[in-house]
Amino acid sequence: MRLAIPLNYAANFKEAADQVVAFENAGADIVWVAEAYGFDAPSQMGYLAARTERIQIGAGILPIYSRTPALLAQTAAGIDALSDGRMILGLGASGPQVIEGWHGVAYDHPLERTREIIDICRRVWRREVLTNDGLYMLPLPLERGTGLGKPLKLLTRPVRAEIPIWVASLGPKNVEMTAEVADGWLPILFVPELAGRVWGDALAKGAANRAAGLGRLQICAGGLLAVGDDVEGLRDLARPSVALYVGGMGARGKNFYNSLVQRYGFEAEAARIQDLYLAGHKQEAAAAVPAELLEKTSLIGPESYVKERIEAFKESGVTVLNVMPFDADPAGLVARVKEWIS
């Protein structure tokens, strides 16, 4: 297994970058840079490219709606050049709250858009003359523009013609598409013991149509990390974020994260969290998150227990362990875990 760290984008970025350097020295393989409606991810990724030497720099994730496919490809190629081939392009649909509320773009056709964007990006990096007939019309036809557009290819030469593309997906059809065409998968709220039951069929269907040249689908999952005999209480730190996703990321019946938790078997709990959250009772919603869910989506406890959790993630197919370390010496903890998984 490789080891990844999600960057704390809510913190002071330069201080967070100092921590990434320490994590790189401790053996971390990937850092993920998120983008919601704060600072953009690519500018931070460029800064990390200048500050680091070995660690891969992943977008975790760039929303598919806020940039054109060509710009996504250009951005990935630019960061890949700055980092000497260490870029990972993470893509995802985000959610309608951000896409329609912040970007003012209709949240439509997420599955088709993702597939089309992946294909366009790969053709851009191969410096093919770019045309497309689908959701994205390239060049733009006369009836939708001036008629002066012409097919173009990337002006500069990328460091790599095959930049890895990872997709954040949860629904069966989207996971199937991910397993078919992406290099990696970025699930959230991943319970290794239940992953096969929830996603097994979708992953198998996608893998059956996967091109041999893509190799094995990489899977990145994990959670909060703390090691010790008195750290179990740290699991509660995840309550507000889990409640936000399960309760606040969408209306009733249209929340991907809520549906996932229901598929795990927490139907009543998921409904209660959403009812409380949408009613404005966020603290009560956080308190309603099942302790079992917090335990199964984290790596917190004595060393022997954390090693058992790592093995559970590995057995479920996870190839990259994604951890948020809580320790007086977080880099030292990362170094310990790196040794355990190597």
Per-residue pLDDT of 175-194, as tens digits, reads 999 999 999 999 999 999 99
pTM of the model: 0.97
Above 80 in pLDDT, residue 9?
no
pLDDT value for 54: 98
Above 90 in pLDDT, residue 12?
no
Return the higher-pLDDT residue of 310 and 10.
310
Q: Residue 166 in 3-state DSSP?
A: strand
Per-residue pLDDT of 276-317, as tens digits, reads 999 999 999 999 999 999 999 999 999 999 999 999 999 999
pLDDT value for 285: 98
SS3 content of the chain, % helix, strand, coil (to 5): 50, 15, 35
Where is average pLDDT lowest: 36-40, 118-122, 235-239?
36-40
Summarize the confidence of residues 68-88 as an average pLDDT.
98
55 confidence band (pLDDT: 50, 70, 90): very high
Per-residue pLDDT of 96-105, as tens digits, reads 889 999 999 9
Name the strand (E) or helix (H) holding 74. Answer: helix 69-82
Chain centroid to Cα 143, Å, comes to 37
Query: Which residues lie closer than 8 Å to 51 by C-beta, 6 or more apart?
Result: 17, 20, 21
The share of the chain scoring above pLDDT 90, in percent, equals 95
Tokens read off for 147 = 């008629």
Count of CB atoms situated within 10 Å of the CB of 41:
25
Report the relative pairing of strands 184-185 and 218-227 from DSSP bridges.
parallel
Phi and psi at residue 299, in whole multiples of 5°?
Answer: -130, 75
Residues 284-303: b if buried by 16+ CB within 10 A, e if exposed: bbbebbbeebbbbbbbbbee
